C-alpha cells in the first residue's frame, strides 16, 4: 500500500482536479451475503494482488461520517465510464493515516478496500484463489 499526494485534498464531492492523488492497494476483500439457515450472513475473501490496484483521487469523494477518529477517512468510489464518472455502490474504501511531526509527513497506516459481489462471482473468485494457491505451493505438478 502506498499513498501519493495529499489525501486531505479530497472533499465531499468528486473532483477531477484530484487526479494527482493515488492510492496503491495491494489487498482487496470481496464480500457476499448468503443465506445461512434463516438469516443472510456475510462471507468474505481477501485477495493479495501481485500488482497493486491504483485508485486516483478523481474517482473518490469523502463521506461525511462524523464518528471517525482523527486520521480515519471513508470514501465513495466512482468508476470511469466513457467520459464521465459513475458512483459504484458495491465498492467501499476506508483508510487510516498518522502524521509524523518530526518528518512533517502523513503516513498511510492501513487501507481497507471492499467489493460486494454476487454469490456466483464469489464462488468463481474462491476457486481461482484456490487454484493459484495450489500452483504456488507446487501441488498438482507432474515431476
| pLDDT tens digits, 15-54 | 889 889 999 999 999 999 988 788 888 899 999 988 999 9
Task: Say how many C-beta atoms besides its own lie within 10 A of residue 95's C-beta.
Answer: 20
For residue 142, name the pLDDT band (cuts at 50, 70, 90): low
Question: pTM, whole model, 2 decimals?
Answer: 0.82
Whether 141 shows a pLDDT value over 60: the answer reads: no
C-alpha cell at 60: 473518490
CA distance between the termini of the chain: 37
Whether 87 shows a pLDDT value over 90: the answer reads: yes
List C-alpha distances in Å: 101 to 6, 98, 105.
15, 10, 7
Query: Mind spelling out the 3-state secondary structure of 65-86?
Result: CCCCCCCEEEEEEEEEECCEEE
Rounded average pLDDT over 49-64: 91
Average pLDDT over the chain, rounded to an integer: 87
The number of angstroms, rounded, from the C-alpha of 10 to the middle of its chain's C-alpha atoms is 16
Amino acid at each position: 500500500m502506498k499513498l501519493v499526494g495529499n489525501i486531505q485534498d479530497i472533499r465531499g464531492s468528486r473532483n477531477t482536479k484530484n487526479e494527482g492523488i493515488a492510492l496503491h492497494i495491494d489487498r482487496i476483500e470481496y464480500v457476499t451475503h448468503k443465506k445461512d439457515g434463516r438469516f443472510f450472513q456475510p462471507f468474505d475473501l481477501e485477495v493479495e494482488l501481485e500488482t497493486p490496484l491504483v485508485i486516483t483521487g478523481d474517482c473518490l469523494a469523502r463521506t461525511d461520517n462524523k464518528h471517525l477518529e482523527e486520521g480515519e477517512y471513508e470514501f465513495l468510489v466512482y468508476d470511469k465510464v466513457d467520459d464521465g464518472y459513475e458512483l459504484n455502490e458495491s465498492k467501499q474504501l476506508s483508510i487510516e493515516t498518522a502524521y509524523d511531526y518530526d518528518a512533517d509527513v502523513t503516513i498511510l497506516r492501513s487501507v481497507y478496500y471492499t467489493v460486494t459481489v454476487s454469490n456466483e462471482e464469489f464462488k468463481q473468485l474462491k476457486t481461482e484463489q484456490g487454484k493459484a494457491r495450489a500452483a504456488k505451493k507446487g501441488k498438482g505438478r507432474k515431476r
